[in-house]
Amino acid sequence: MSARRIAAEVAAGNRRATEVVEASLAEISTHDGELHAFTEVHAEAAREAARGIDAAVAEGRDVGPLAGVPIGVKDNICQRGRVTSCASKILDGWRPPYDATVVRSLEAAGAIIIGTTNMDEFAMGSSTENSAYGPTKNPVDHSKVPGGSSGGSAAAVGAGMVPLSLGSDTGGSIRQPAAFCGVVGVKPTYGLVSRYGLVAFASSLDQVGPFAQSVEDAALLLEVIAGHDPLDSTSLDVPAPMLVDRLDDGVGGLRVGLCRDLIEGASPEITAAVTASAELLAAAGAEIVEMSIPELHYGLSAYYLIAPAEASSNLARYDGVRYGLRVDAANVAEMNAASRTAGFGDEVKRRIMLGTYALSAGYYDAYYAQAQRTRTLIINAFADAYRSVDLILGATTPTTAFGLGAKVSDPMEMYLSDVFTIPTNLAGHPAISVPAGSDAAGLPIGVQLLGPALSEERLLRAAAVIEKGRS
């Protein structure tokens, strides 16, 4: 059942929030032992919150647009008093003394946080295999990865354990797992959703966004979490967009660019799905324009200098002194080194070293500064493209979900999983992955729609057309 319908039935008193929560907990009990989408399930707290919702309904009070809807929250989004470890040993057992703004927004809207979802450590990965808790499995095929870094959030929705979840997207970490798990995933405009309480990986790239089983539910959740937050210096001073009521407005008159650079290298089945999606948009009244943005080919290289550089700075705070893991040693320097060696996994160490090198004296201009110039080149290329089209269509991923363990020993091959999603993060623009069929093995395919800053309403309308055409 959709999140919107659950909320409507709970608010009307036709269904009890306690029943909804028990049904979700039963699904988690049935499926999560195998999938491992959750790192913690907050069963008693969820039941208590559900009782509060039911009492408010009985008293005739407004219970919010997500009344009684169970939701999973990624392990890098702070929940007061609950373990928020970023799936890392270095933060094992850390309980934040505050809630992230998005968590407060969920609770104010009546949503019930039923658990914390697994992820790649500090959001560094594309498969959710880099977790101190162990890997998450794909809900469609348990021998495959769910994508990453928000693989737990995607798998939880894909398996029907919750109708909604939150993830974070630094280089594709919402859209790529959404494609792999056959759900909708939205990366909002940078600054549209507060980052207060999101544990930073790369501060100029990170953004919180929704996973859902439908475009309508994704729109509903984005409405709830979007909007200006004075606690976040990067938050845009704009109101939350009205999205749900505009979903049926269609795409008549829109120009959609079919971007060759966001298909090149994709499997034939994914390429066919993108073409079929373009045909659905055309049939609904959009004009399809074939186009190329060659600058996007530089995105992967620029990202893997900028993101690790920011990570090396952000993760310097985990030093064994202030909070988190501490390994005792003879002096402070040795304690710091021992704590970080024991606390961080291989991929996090790899990116910290890469980022530190790129920022070091003698290499800053050659690597980090050049990557930032490339980022500007990509931003300008997108700006030029959006002068002639309203939206851009392409593949979300080059392949469908790959096997567990297949790319763990080859970081470069793993990084290529995000080749189509990274450019949007560098530009700070919104994008959405929407299910568009399956390959011959039955694995989900996702197609990606991109738009200029604050074009979420337009993107979701186009995604709704594709979703409806595929149903």
Q: Which domain holds residue 23?
A: 1-471
pLDDT, residue 412, reads: 87
407 is annotated as an active-site residue: no
Tokens of 461: 């309308």
CATH number for the domain harbouring residue 204: 3.90.1300.10
Tokens of 20: 């909804």
Tokens of 167: 């993830």
Other residues' Cβ atoms within 10 Å of the Cβ of residue 33: 8
- For residue 185, report the phi and psi dihedrals to the nearest 5 degrees: -135, 135
3-state secondary structure of 347: helix
**Tokens 């928020």 appear where?**
84
Other residues' Cβ atoms within 10 Å of the Cβ of residue 360: 12
pLDDT, residue 242, reads: 95
pLDDT along the chain (471 residues), means of 10: 96 98 98 98 98 98 98 98 97 96 98 98 98 98 98 98 98 98 98 98 98 98 98 95 96 98 98 98 98 97 97 95 91 95 96 95 93 98 98 98 95 93 98 98 98 98 96 78
Q: How would you list the strands of the sheet with 184-187, edge to edge? A: 38-41, 112-117, 70-74, 164-168, 208-212, 184-187, 431-438, 444-450, 391-395, 255-259, 287-291
Tokens of 312: 């090396």
Could you tell me the pTM of the whole model?
Answer: 0.97
C-alpha 187, offset from chain centre? 6
- For residue 269, report the phi and psi dihedrals to the nearest 5 degrees: -70, -35
Active-site residue, from 24, 88, 173, 433: 173
pLDDT, residue 136, reads: 98
173 is annotated as an active-site residue: yes
3-state secondary structure of 395: strand
pLDDT, residue 323, reads: 84
CA separation (Å) from 61 to 10, 58, 66? 12, 8, 14
Tokens of 401: 């979900």
Q: How many domains does the chain have?
A: 1
pLDDT, residue 1, reads: 81
Active-site residue, from 74, 144, 187, 407: 74
pLDDT, residue 156, reads: 98
Active-site residue, from 149, 153, 235, 455: 149
- Residue 50's nearest CA partner among 109, 113, 114, 112 is 112
**Cα diameter, the chain:** 71
149 is annotated as an active-site residue: yes
pLDDT, residue 216, reads: 98
